Amino acid sequence: MVSPIFAVYFLVLLLIGVPVLFALGLAPAIALFQADKLLFLNVLYQRLYTGMDNFLLLALPFFMLAGEFMVNGGITTRIITFSQTMVRHFRGGLGHVVILSATMFGALTGSSVAATSAIGKMMIPEMERYQYDRTYAAAITAAATVLGTIIPPSGIMLIYAFVMNTSVAAMFMSGIVPGLLLCGALMLVNRWQIKKYPQVQQFDRAGPGERTAAFKAATLPLLTPVIILGGIYGGVFTPTEAAAVAVLYALVLSVFIMRILKLRDVFPMFVRIAINAGAILIIVAAASGFASAVSLSGIAKDITAFFYSLTSNPYLLFFIMNIFLFIVGMFLDAGPAILIFAPILAPIMTNVGIDPVHFGVVMVVNLSVGLATPPMGLVLFVASAVSGVPLQKISRVIIPFLIAEALVIFLISFFPPLVIGLPKLLGMM
Amino acid sequence: MLEYIEKALSAINSPLARIGSWIGGGMLVIMTLIVLLQVVFRYVLGMPLGWTDEMSRFLMIYMAYLCLPLIYLQDKNIAMTFLLEALQEKRVRHLLMIVIHCLAIVAFLIWIRFGYEFFLRGNSRADSLPITMRVIYAAPPLMMTITILSAMQKIVMELRLLLGQGVREHSVEI
């Protein structure tokens, strides 16, 4: 038996700034050393290899790669132009454009950070040009681009599916309605908040000709999620194969059809994604070893007993879990948070009758919103860097948007059909 | 003296990290092609290939570990940095960074020790490829050994900052 004290070591190591990878390796090692059970380190070590040796995980670098080609291949302009023709005439039009663009971007890249950078670089100066407050522009960009990891395909949904052995296709389909709900909620907040900025300029409604032209220009990039989801759902491809096909499609689109990306720029992107994906994959492997230590320590049982001592009511449990995950998301990135907490928390919820896919999507949405919450939200940092507005100022203005997102999290927690209704309808669950 | 050591370590680490990441990028290209080949052979030609699954997995493992030195040098390891940010501009931050890098080296040493044992046990052959598993098991301990040099370079850099000796920028480009 490993002493559950290693969980405390893990937290201390994380809090002093030790990277997640080393905290995952060191904490169980210290506990095993204390318990004089160093031989078990063999098993932990093997996970550094076996924890990564999975065909499904290949989808992670592939989705990242497809997103990289898309972002650098000129889709941002097309998506934003299309969004402008659809929603610019409403009150706070450019705010709506950011939200709609972020929603569509989510379906193309699966990365919130890439979306914040790409949309922010174009839209924040544009909004300022039409008398929007720069801080407001940065805040709405950060709040909206969390949709990147919620609207499928999503890297962190893939990680959850891998860790919890759930269907990737069902996870992806389950993310669609919550993503659209968040999009709607953010638009409502924008409509309400924009009253504080009466100086912003209004736009005319786009004519049918302008809309059709913008739609035509955006059609090819927007086919990417159709290929991915259609391919997986139709049983044509496995998720990994669909991701590889998406890479090929994004490459052909960016280099040969839209001709924005130069062929000589392609290999450096492969290298960049190899590095970024490598950093995540090694953590996935280390987390697999950590999960073995968790199961051997019995700490999961203690945590389960703790939660059940509070309540066994599924709704109340969901409420408490959401608060817990929201706090975790404020400090920890979504990927590592899922790797560490999903194997502990998901069984607690499934024991009281919550579907693991339902819980997984709520967890993903919650931790994605955490990317935009102070003090450690990665998306906030990027929005601050892109806009030049200090983090503290954005953190204040973003609050109404975060409240709306929190309400959506509770809504999808307590009404499962909003999450798993679509995949059930399609016969995937 | 410290500057000399840092320069020497950088002269070793930068090219190694860069070459590792290039090869990693190359492996990602090959992985993509292999999986696309798998799609074509299975769904178009109706002749599934037996080796594509295993080969692409092995390439992914190598890709991740080959990039490890650059991940370390570019500080791409995910961490909770609020304490470090609170200590910005303070000397104690450099002391903390030295402790963190030392802990990373300890973790690497543990992994390398058990990784080497695992490597020695890898006499079995791969399921579909004409190689022993040792070829694959070698990746983590080998690349971690190289990454220790990156951690040592970071320690020397932080030590120089702690002693107020100024610092050269060490941004390793890919």
Contacts of B54 (CB under 8 A, 6+ apart): B126, B127, B128, B129
pLDDT in tens, B7-41: 999 999 999 999 999 999 999 999 999 999 999 99
pLDDT in tens, A141-163: 999 999 999 999 999 999 999 99
Q: What is the ipTM of this complex?
A: 0.94
Helices A356-370 & A334-351 angle (0-180, nearest 10): 150
- The stretches in chain A having pLDDT less than 50 are none
Tell me, what's the pLDDT at A239?
A: 92
Q: Is the pLDDT of residue B102 over 70?
A: yes
CB B151 within 8 Å of CB B13: no
Q: Rounded mean pLDDT of chain B?
A: 92
Contacts of A11 (CB under 8 A, 6+ apart): none
Sign of CA dihedral B143, B149, B155, B157: negative
CA distance A58 to chain B (A): 7
Tell me, what's the pLDDT at B169?
A: 56
Tell me, what's the pLDDT at B105?
A: 97
Inspect the interface and report whether the beta carbons of A49 and B71 lie closer than 8 Å: no
C-beta contacts of A128-132 below 8 A and 24+ residues apart = A130/A94, A130/A200, A130/A201, A131/A197, A131/A199, A131/A200, A131/A201, A132/A94, A132/A95, A132/A197, A132/A200
Residue of B nearest to A235 (CA): B43
A44 vs B contacts (CB less than 8 Å): 114
Give Dmax over CA atoms of chain A in angstroms: 75
CA distance A259 to chain B (A): 20
A271 vs B contacts (CB less than 8 Å): 21-22, 24-25, 28, 174
CA distance B155 to chain A (A): 14
pLDDT in tens, B118-171: 999 999 999 999 999 999 999 999 999 999 999 999 999 999 999 887 665 556
Tell me, what's the pLDDT at B97?
A: 95
Q: Is this prediction's pTM over 0.90?
A: yes
Considering only CB atoms, B35 lies closest to which of A41, A240, A283, namely A240
